[in-house]
Amino acid sequence: MTLTKRLSGEITDIRSIEFVCKSCGTSVSFNPAKWTAIVPSRCSNCPDAAKWTPTTDENIRQFAVLLTQLIKAEKDMPLEIRLDFELKEN
């Protein structure tokens, strides 16, 4: 038998989108409902951090635009958009 813990929520439950540097752990977060889709292009703490590629930057920008639009439109939709997460124990 396996016990699985899950977390489920609506997209309007999302309080922040966080970008975390894999090298130093520095993070920048945005409220997705108010995010203007400006994406940090590199870590502000690592002086020689690699800059994201234009493709990565554009994909994240598109994600931000869609997420913001969905959050604003969700109250008028005939359905809910739910996100489901599996909680892992460390």
List contacts with Zn ion (CB under 5 A): 21, 23-24, 26, 43, 45-46
Smaller CB separation from Zn ion, 23 or 62:
23
β-bridge pairing 27-30 and 82-87: unpaired
CB of 52 to Zn ion, least distance (A): 13
Least CB distance to Zn ion at residue 61 (A): 21
Per the listing, tokens 């997705």 go with 32
Residue nearer to Zn ion on the CB measure, 30 or 68: 30
